[in-house]
Structure 1
Amino acid sequence: MGRSAPRAGARSAASAPASFRTGGRPSVKTGGVEQRELEGGCPLWLLDRPGPAILSAKLWIRGGSAADPTGQRGRSQLLAGVLSRGCGRLSGEALADLVEGRGAGLRCEAAEDGTLISLKCASDDATLLLPLILQMVSSPWLVEDQITLERQLNLQTLQRQKEDPFQVAHDQLRHQLYGDGPYGHDPLGVEAELAQLGREELQQCTQELGQGGAVLVLAGQLPEQPERLLLEGLGGQGWSTQAPVRHPGAPGLKQRSLASKLDDTEQLVLMLGTTTGPLGSEQALALRLLHCHLGIGMSSRLFVALREEHGLAYDVGVHYPARLGDAPFVFHLSSSSDRAKEASQELLNEWLRLLEEPISEEQLQLAKAKFRGQEALGRQTCSQIADRHALVLGHGLPFDFADRCLIEAESLTANDLHQAAKALLQQPCLSLCGPDDAIKVAETVWNQHPLNRA
């Protein structure tokens, strides 16, 4: 998590000029990590790390595609794409020249629960580049021709996704799990609604940025006076926001269903899933260990059973993302269409196995080892560390949430994982995409399988 404290040369809140003070609150330093607050209320976390002279900054803003109003689905991602096309005194071309001319990376994207602005640069270039982050959210240009270009790119992406059987099955399952709710559409939006979005809608969205809370994390070799740099170009005014608080996110439907889509290919895509709970909920950690058991590595249960033992899978895995609301827990399998019956049967059997019997002690220890390994792999670079902390803090969870999970995971038993499965995985939905004959076979298996009658 945190490393050594920020450089001694950095000014404290009390000694900084009035317009750059940390909102009147003293900074808090614990275990090598320093917490401050920018003028306007944005929490600032500083993680000074030895090593290459690199700085990574992550601004996580609560909202995302789940907050898109009905009739404007796609608004958050469209705005995210336009934010880097000019801000403050810099046009889109000048902004690109400044960032790319320094060999840096600056991107912005919207996911379901938030919008993330990411900057990675040489520490020596922080003076020039760090001010861009808050300028992007407080004074974007929102030029009409750039909005049109970004909107067209997003529409083209949505069109291309319709040609991908895996994406078609995924989009279909998403609707089964969330209906027309906040999580029920691709973050890119809905084509008919996205096509109507313009500058007026993006201006409104810009005004709403930060209302749900935001957090900024800097990791690497930190500059002196980071607050001054971040607020530079804002006319001495802070960006108005506050720390994200923990509250329930979008719910899932939690009802069993079957959906299918014809596609003239030689493969069948199956997605079997349900909605569970948010990141940090009572049994989420148990499901995370099940995810490691089922889908991480070539020793995972689904890889061994479906690919190695039965030779059924072109691709197989488990999808379990972090969400503020009810997160999906999904098995996915791509198989030859002429083996539709066996593929459907075995995939459903694996889900039923979770409900009927706990994993072995040996499997539990392997899942815990994989969980520890995944956590370690996710903390190798400044960018990874900043990204992880921004996500956790953006969900209203403690800064040391990941460390707490590592400790708590060691005490979980196979029965704990089984109880979590029985509590949260009882009502799966099946989404199919493939040729007609294969879909009919898979539908018959689903209708006759004990999992559909449980």
Structure 2
Amino acid sequence: MTGAAPLPLDQAELTFTASGDSLVRRSVLPSGVRVLSEQVPGARSATIGYWVAVGSRDEVVATYGSTHFLEHLLFKGTANRTALDIAVSFDAVGGEHNAMTAKEYTCYYAKVQDKDLPMAVEVLSDMITSSVIDPTEFENERGVILEELAMADDDPSDVTSERFFEAVLGEHPLGRPIGGSPETIQAATRESVWEHYRANYRARDLVITVAGAVDHDELVAWVTRALTAAGWDLSIEAAPVERRDATHDVIERGSPLVVVHRPIEQANILLGVPGIPAADDRRSTLAVLNSVLGGGMSSRLFQEIREKRGLAYSVYSFSPSYSDAGLFGLYAGCSPAKAAQVTELLLSEFRRLATGGITDDEMRRAVGQLSGASALALEDSDTRMSRLGRSEITLGEFADLDESLRRLSLVTAHDVRELAVELVARPLSIAAVGTIDAATFDGLALEPIAV
């Protein structure tokens, strides 16, 4: 293929060959269900995902955490299968199955041998369409989720991350915790979660992606048969649900500094700014910037803070992106006594990208790292399945490895510096957890800078 392949919602069938001679096909059924497959030559297994484009950002105040609550409940049984039946279906064939709730989508997935793919379609279809959300199971799972939240609250890195998203993104729905809070989970009712389920798990919301050893026509037949058997009337015509508005949202900073005092051995520090959306043309530029700053052992943060000074074991940068917003962050874990020094180094290295740019050698190294990592990741059908889902739900286009590498090759050092200048001018936030307090960060120049 040449360039990225657009994925228009009003086109029923698409077929194209991607890099490595994999065959990508997409069918939009009359009911609005979208089925995408990537047939990989030589594969003997397949990863399948059932996606709905609803995540934690889509919840109202009364239902915070209900998307994640519902993800748990769909494993607890249907009219046809108990929770044990679902587990046994995959365990008996050596398969793997799980789910993930994100800020903009939920995905239920499995990895199986090619001969077991029809079973995976049948079981996942049953889970998606026919969960009974049994009242007893609901109460049991409430306890499980409260334990999950307690476990996360005991992990200082999780606490730092949640406070960081709130600090950077403020009142934006993306700033909320995916799992809700103990208070909202305690207040959740079966009726509210059931309503959330019925409102968002419909044929027009469903995206099914499979990568590996898969025949597309067989897949569509299995999906149609399984969803019909589960009670969905696929003869009722409906357009697929529209993708989210990709207009870059305005972010109002929640707080410049959030410190959570915990009597632990390390201070966990995150600092950063609003980033760029998933479909921004500068995603490749940001990938290079992130690689140079904190994307590996040769990155500036790793070399300056760990190798030269021995101030931290873990130090890196990261750049999650969403349909209308993003975030760029830098992390380090260090002794509380070194927290101010490490924060100053994180900040100075971040700003040095804007004031001094990057070298030609750093550019070559970053492009090489990103190119190699992208190629190696695609050895796994899980990655390919996820790429299909993200392409369909968020991006509206499919970019194969060749196209991704082409876009990387177009990035220049000037582009990287230009984006760095933009990022350092945005409101900065710090979140920290440890045996420290707000005074630890006194004297740091935390206001945005203009270069």
Give the % identical residues. 20
User: Who is 2:6 aligned against?
Assistant: none
2: CA distance, partners of 1:140 / 1:450? 49
User: Who is 1:366 aligned against?
Assistant: 365
Alpha-carbon spacing, 1:327–1:399, altered in 2? closer, same or farther (3 Å): same
2:88 aligned to which of 97, 101, 108: 97
Matched, 1:349 2:340: no
What is the TM-score when the length of structure 1 is the normalising length?
Answer: 0.87
User: Who is 1:308 aligned against?
Assistant: 307
2: CA distance, partners of 1:228 / 1:391? 23
2: CA distance, partners of 1:283 / 1:361? 19
1: CA distance, partners of 2:384 / 2:157? 31
Contact kept, 8 Å, 1:213 with 1:245, in 2: the verdict is no
Alpha-carbon spacing, 1:353–1:26, altered in 2? closer, same or farther (3 Å): closer
Matched, 1:221 2:213: yes
User: Who is 1:176 aligned against?
Assistant: 167
Letter in 1 for 2:243: V
Q: Deviations over 1:187-239 (max 9, x none)?
A: 11122111111321121111122568442211222256222211322346239
Deviation at 1:451, TM superposition (A): 5.1
Deviates most, 302-311 or 172-181: 172-181
Matched, 1:33 2:24: yes
Letter in 2 for 1:444: D
Matched, 1:111 2:107: no
Deviation at 1:95, TM superposition (A): 1.8
Contact kept, 8 Å, 1:341 with 1:445, in 2: the verdict is no
Unpaired runs of at least 5, structure 2: 3-8, 18-22
Deviation at 1:59, TM superposition (A): 2.0
SS at the partner of 2:62?
A: coil
1: CA distance, partners of 2:42 / 2:262? 51
User: Who is 2:246 aligned against?
Assistant: 248
What is the TM-score when the length of structure 2 is the normalising length?
Answer: 0.88
Contact kept, 8 Å, 1:433 with 1:439, in 2: the verdict is no
User: Who is 1:323 aligned against?
Assistant: 322
Letter in 1 for 2:15: K
Deviation at 1:452, TM superposition (A): 5.5
Letter in 2 for 1:290: L
Q: Deviations over 1:111-165 (max 9, x none)?
A: 0110011121121122222122232222112112222222222211222222222
Deviation at 1:244, TM superposition (A): 4.9
Deviation at 1:359, TM superposition (A): 0.6
User: Who is 1:237 aligned against?
Assistant: 233
Alpha-carbon spacing, 1:307–1:439, altered in 2? closer, same or farther (3 Å): farther
SS at the partner of 1:225?
A: helix
Contact kept, 8 Å, 2:265 with 2:336, in 1: the verdict is yes
Alpha-carbon spacing, 1:257–1:439, altered in 2? closer, same or farther (3 Å): closer
Unpaired runs of at least 5, structure 1: 3-22
1: CA distance, partners of 2:357 / 2:201? 44
Q: Count matched residues.
A: 430
Alpha-carbon spacing, 1:378–1:243, altered in 2? closer, same or farther (3 Å): farther
Matched, 1:287 2:276: no
1: CA distance, partners of 2:254 / 2:262? 26
Matched, 1:141 2:132: yes
Deviation at 1:280, TM superposition (A): 1.5
Letter in 2 for 1:366: R
User: Who is 2:184 aligned against?
Assistant: 193
Alpha-carbon spacing, 1:311–1:35, altered in 2? closer, same or farther (3 Å): same
Q: CA RMSD in A?
A: 2.6
User: Who is 1:15 aligned against?
Assistant: none
User: Who is 1:5 aligned against?
Assistant: none
Letter in 2 for 1:372: S
